[in-house]
Amino acid sequence: GQNIDQPTEMTATEGAIVQINCTYQTSGFNGLFWYQQHAGEAPTFLSYNVLDGLEEKGRFSSFLSRSKGYSYLLLKELQMKDSASYLCAVRDDTGGFKTIFGAGTRLFVKA
């Protein structure tokens, strides 16, 4: 079966660093995406990992360990506008291309 777990909510302070974890179980793993979704808006692409290791893109970094079924999204120098839901999504190639989304982690950034 397929399963993606993320914390439901997190709170962090402006200027700080926050790490959002995602664990997954899937039989045909072939890549992991992170999307950002502000309240009432559509998800927007943040990052994609298919190999183990860290991918850095400005204030955002994403890490993947395929052997552990684990990823995290690291947000540095938090800004108020980073308050949003962060969706972990796994590409599963079992029976064709399919992207499965987690429920998302709601991040609240406080002053």
**Stretch of 16-24, 27-35, 57-65, 76-84 contacting another protein, by CB under 8 A:** 27-35
Q: Do 38 and 107 form a contact (C-beta atoms < 8 A)? A: no
Q: Does 89 bind another protein (CB under 8 A)?
A: yes
Least distance CB 111 / another protein (angstroms): 25
* CA pseudo-torsion sign 12, 14, 43, 39: positive
As a whole number of angstroms, the distance between CA 100 and CA 4 comes to 8
CB-CB neighbours of 84 under 10 Å: 20
Reduced to 3 states, what is the DSSP secondary structure of residue 82? helix
Q: Does 42 bind another protein (CB under 8 A)?
A: yes
Q: Tell me which of 7, 23, 48, 76 binds another protein, using CB under 8 A.
A: 48
Amino acid letter at 48?
Y
**Stretch of 10-18, 20-28, 58-66, 84-92 contacting another protein, by CB under 8 A:** 84-92
Q: Give residues with Cβ within 8 angstroms of 5, minimum separation 6.
A: 22, 23, 24, 102
**Stretch of 10-18, 41-49, 52-60, 66-74 contacting another protein, by CB under 8 A:** 41-49
For another protein, the binding residues (CB under 8 A) are: 4, 30-31, 33, 41-45, 48, 87, 89, 91, 93, 95-104
